[in-house]
Amino acid sequence: MKRERDLDKDYQKRIADGVLEVIMRESIIEQPDGTRVAAVLSGEIWDVFKTMGTLFIAGSDLLNSPTKIREFSIEEGKHIARLIKTAQERRAAGDLPFSDLPATFDA
């Protein structure tokens, strides 16, 4: 897979912005008082990301053996752990583009 420095950051930003827009749009729920909130289901979203990601990379020549798949999975697992830690630190610092909101309705 590409190294971090070889990735097209502009393309990534456009994709990320589009994905976030779709997630928020599809998560909108109207409450009884008429206000609208986004009820983002993180587990469902994570499952979709895993499934879609594997579909996109499944045909890569870099993953054409069980050993290569295992090595890739181990390295990506480490990378995901670092990303989670960074996101947790950003959330604690109040530095995320969205925030956790209390649920005020039964969905």
| pLDDT, tens digit, 9 for 90 and up, residues 38-74 | 888 989 999 999 999 999 999 999 999 999 999 999 9
Residue 89 belongs to what domain range?
Answer: 41-96
Predicted pLDDT of residue 107:
40
Residue 106 falls inside a structural domain: no
For residues 64 and 82, membership in a common domain is answered with: yes
For residues 47 and 92, membership in a common domain is answered with: yes
Q: Looking at residue 38, what DSSP letter applies?
A: E
Predicted pLDDT of residue 1:
58
Phi, psi of 101 (to 5 degrees): -120, 140
Structure tokens at 25: 């749009």
Alpha helices by DSSP H, 1-107 = 9-27, 42-57, 66-92
- Would you place residue 103 in the very low, low, confident or very high pLDDT band (cuts 50, 70, 90)? very low
d(CA 64, CA 74): 16
For residues 26 and 59, membership in a common domain is answered with: no
| pLDDT, tens digit, 9 for 90 and up, residues 5-35 | 788 999 999 999 999 899 989 999 999 999 9
Q: Which residue has the higher pLDDT, 91 or 2?
A: 91
pTM of the entire predicted model: 0.72
Structure tokens at 68: 């290569």
For residues 67 and 26, membership in a common domain is answered with: no
Please count the structural domains in the chain. 2
